[in-house]
Each structure stands twice: as C-alpha cells, then as structure tokens.
Amino acid sequence: MPPSPPPPPATTGAVIKKLSPGTAGTRRLLERYGAALVCVRYREIRTPDGTRRRLTTVELVVDERPAKPREAWLRIAYDETELRRAIRQAGGAWDSARHLWRAPVRAIKQLRLEDRVVENT
C-alpha cells in the first residue's frame, strides 16, 4: 500500500485569527459566499523552503436539513418487566407524567422496538 499523501496546507499551521462574518477582514468573502459563510480563519504555515505564508480559509454551510431525533417515546406495558429492564439499561427512562418511556433511538432500533414508538407526543 502506498503511503498516504501529506495533508493539504490549509489544514496545517497555526490559526492566527478567526473572524465572524461581517467583521473587518471578511466583507469581501461575505459578498462572495453570502449567508453560507460561517467564519474566516487566517493561518500561518511554513513552506518546505522555510518561508512563511498566510492562508485564508473559510467555513461554509453546504447543506442544511432537519436533525433526526436522538430520543423517542415508546409504550411498554407494566407486565413486560424484562423489556423495561432492557430499555432502562440502554439509557431509557420512565416519564410518569406521560406514562411513556423515553429512550435513545439507537437503543430502540437495537432492541427492535420501532413498532412501539409513539408519534406526536
């Protein structure tokens, strides 16, 4: 297997300045990238011949979508003690006000309890 190439210069070197959009030093980039611009970073690197170079890097939003829920509500009957114990060990908790269990989605999938998830609570 050939050795992996070195990282690109923009990921090496010290960040000497980090600026928010709209501040001095970012206006030209804000005009170019608009609302997608998150921040501008100035980095200083040393080239192989020993000279110092300043790099301007930008962080952009390239995609935005709703976040998937990390937890869900599910119904487990009182007499299903083994299942309740399993969901509790997986990080679930009983909510007495709603009379439902709140558990991480990954645990629900792992225990194959998707059919017990309660929508719109």
| Per-residue pLDDT reduced to its tens digit, 63-72 | 999 887 789 9
> Would you kindly state where each structural domain of the chain is located, as residue ranges?
11-60, 71-118
**Cβ atoms of 45 and 13 closer than 8 Å:** yes
Share of the chain above pLDDT 90, in %: 72
Strands 52-60 and 37-46: antiparallel
Q: Does residue 95 or residue 4 have the better pLDDT?
A: 95
CA–CA–CA angle 32, 36, 42 (5° rounding): 70
Element (H, E) at 14: strand 14-19
- Phi (first) and psi of residue 77, to 5 degrees: -65, 155
d(CA 41, CA 59): 8
Mean pLDDT taken over the chain: 88
pLDDT tens for each residue of 3-24: 766 555 545 678 899 999 999 9
pLDDT above 70 (res 28): yes
74: nearest Cα among 101, 109, 92, 105: 101
What pLDDT is attached to residue 11? 53
